[in-house]
Amino acid sequence: MVFAFLAVALTVSHGSEQMNWQIGLGRRVITPQTPVWLAGYGTKRAPEGKLHDLWVKVLALKAPDGKRAVLGTTDHMGMSKTVYDSLYRKLRERFGLDRAGFMLTFSHNHCGPVLKDDLVDYYPLDEEQRRLVAEYSDWMEDQVVEAVGDALTNWQPAQLLKGEGKCTFAVNRRDNSETEAEQLRAEGKPLKGVVDHSVPVLAVKGEDGHLLAVLFGYACHPTTLSFNTWCGDYPGFAQVNLEAMHPGTDAMFFNACGADQNPIPRRKLELCERYGKMLSDAVEDVLTKPMQRVSSGLRTAFEFVDLAYDEIVTRGTLLPVANGTSELHARWAKRMLKMIDEGVVFPTSYPYPVQAWQLGDELLFLGIGGEAVVDYSLRFKREFGPTTWVCGYANDMAAYIPSRRVWEEAGYEGGPHLDEYGRPAWRWAGDVEDRIAGAVQRVVRSVRGR
């Protein structure tokens, strides 16, 4: 009897010691209730129904010393700096969050809504759509704030466990056309180009061992679908699958550095469902195996680094574009010309967000803005070690972010396409990777204390 009591007591004590974090969770549906156009592809895309809801989901972390960090994941394509800054101001005023302790990520889903000030010249919006987009964006901000509030007011003890799986449907789209990729696969030959098929997984477990939340990532565009129906593309299906397998669990997805990665083949709903299942199966495989415990301790750092433009546009370079055949580029050029007429002096650089969180000794979580190509995640994992996870599409959509290699190769991700993001230039300067890497090194030194 005494031995049995001691065994139970030791088990309870050991379990309590494992609960070395406090966590909070929040979530809100952010599916539009008005006919806001769908984001992506640069065309008019009026909504035609819903496959499943879109979400903002929030995971708040608190270390034993009271240090907090809040991660939000959304089913949006991206978010402008103005909306991100507005959200941050609200969260700072209401909850006292500092910028380093708040990271908002976007799955880059192309079956979600257009947001205010994002890709301002990309869509042929009329005044009615601009009004609807602005109203939706304001409402969406309120939903994010409420979800964060839920997370920060409902703390519970938890343990964090990390692991990594693999999923292989992402294809380097710069080096493989859709036809070529399917042909190579049919012939059993390897595809071309660099990829990152890793699936980082963070399990959040409560005192009873119940899975409270699972955070997972993958480097690939969510562009399986191009129809006009609200849904989360393959990340949405993966989250739905995991939440069905683990009732009461919040499944949260972040897009790694997938700017040059596509799901191939695509354009069919059954393919999207298949990719979602492949990804959720990869996560589930990690969850069923031993995972590494993340010790307590939280350090955060943030920096805006100036990314220089290659060449600022002028009236002379804009006029031919304004009179050209591309409606998208003409919209941008005419807006730039109007700004020149109004005496606006264009900035020569863009403030790009870089963020680092160190969780215990076991996990370095990096957040970088925009559509970063896969070279960045591969580089930073080499540079800072295999315990590094890199989240692209964080805090600010910004633009495509090429590595030096991709910049030199040019093409869609590395060439003259900043105009699509409304910037006063066509390209970044060639040192874009050096500037980002330098900033990442600084925030990592800050959180690692060396």
The reply to whether 440 falls in a domain is no
pTM over the 0.85 mark: yes
- Which residue in the block uniquely carries the two structure tokens 């970088």? 368
Determine the Cα angle at 21 with ends 73 and 92, to 5°.
Answer: 50
Question: Do 222 and 322 lie in a common domain?
Answer: no
Question: Do 213 and 322 lie in a common domain?
Answer: no
Binned at pLDDT 50, 70 and 90, residue 4 comes out as: very low
* pLDDT over 60 at 13, yes or no: no
CA distance 163 to 16: 22
pLDDT of residue 383: 98
Binned at pLDDT 50, 70 and 90, residue 17 comes out as: low
pLDDT of residue 233: 98
Decide the pairing of beta strands 21-29 and 55-62: antiparallel
Question: Do 85 and 164 lie in a common domain?
Answer: yes
Q: Is 307 exposed, middle or buried (0-12, 13-18, 19+ CB in 10 A)?
A: buried
pLDDT of residue 109: 96
pLDDT of residue 5: 41
Q: What is the pLDDT of residues 30-58, one digit of tens each?
A: 999 999 999 998 888 999 999 999 999 99
CA distance 171 to 130: 35
Determine the Cα angle at 36 with ends 33 and 37, to 5°.
Answer: 140
How many domains does the chain divide into? 2
Beta bridge partners of 58: 26, 72
Decide the pairing of beta strands 170-172 and 261-263: antiparallel
What's the 3-state SS for 224-280?
CCCCCCECCHHHHHHHHHHHHHCCCCEEEEEECCCCCEEECCCCCHHHHHHHHHHHH
Question: Do 91 and 147 lie in a common domain?
Answer: yes
Q: What is the pLDDT of residues 70-100, one digit of tens each?
A: 999 999 999 999 999 999 999 999 999 999 9
pLDDT of residue 43: 87
Question: Do 379 and 319 lie in a common domain?
Answer: no
Question: Do 318 and 207 lie in a common domain?
Answer: no
Question: Do 328 and 206 lie in a common domain?
Answer: no
The reply to whether 412 falls in a domain is no
The reply to whether 290 falls in a domain is yes
> How large is the average pLDDT for residues 214-225?
98
The reply to whether 238 falls in a domain is yes
Q: What is the pLDDT of residues 149-191, one digit of tens each?
A: 999 999 999 999 999 999 999 999 999 988 888 888 889 888 9
The CA radius of gyration of the chain, in Å to the nearest whole number, is 22
Question: Do 320 and 294 lie in a common domain?
Answer: no
pLDDT of residue 177: 87
The reply to whether 422 falls in a domain is no
The reply to whether 414 falls in a domain is no
* pLDDT over 80 at 313, yes or no: yes
CA distance 413 to 174: 9
Q: What is the pLDDT of residues 170-181, one digit of tens each?
A: 999 999 988 888
The reply to whether 430 falls in a domain is no
Nearest to 70 by CA among 152, 133, 3: 152
Give 211's DSSP letter.
E
Question: Do 155 and 249 lie in a common domain?
Answer: yes
Spell out the residues 6+ positions from residue 54 whose beta carbon is closer than 8 angstroms to its own: 29, 30, 31, 74, 75, 76, 109, 112, 113, 230, 231, 232, 236
CA distance 393 to 417: 17
CA distance 59 to 19: 16
Helix, strand, coil shares of the chain, percent, nearest 5, are 35, 25, 35
pLDDT of residue 10: 37
Question: Do 224 and 127 lie in a common domain?
Answer: yes
Binned at pLDDT 50, 70 and 90, residue 449 comes out as: confident
Question: Do 68 and 202 lie in a common domain?
Answer: yes
| Beta carbons of 426 and 386 less than 8 angstroms apart | no
Question: Do 283 and 326 lie in a common domain?
Answer: no
* pLDDT over 90 at 369, yes or no: yes
- Which residue in the block uniquely carries the two structure tokens 């925009």? 370
Q: Which domain holds residue 333?
A: 313-341
What H or E segment, with its residue span, contains residue 437? helix 432-448
pLDDT of residue 226: 87
In 42-126 the beta strands, taken as DSSP E runs, fall at 55-62, 68-74, 102-106
The reply to whether 281 falls in a domain is yes
Beta bridge partners of 204: 160, 213
pLDDT of residue 37: 96
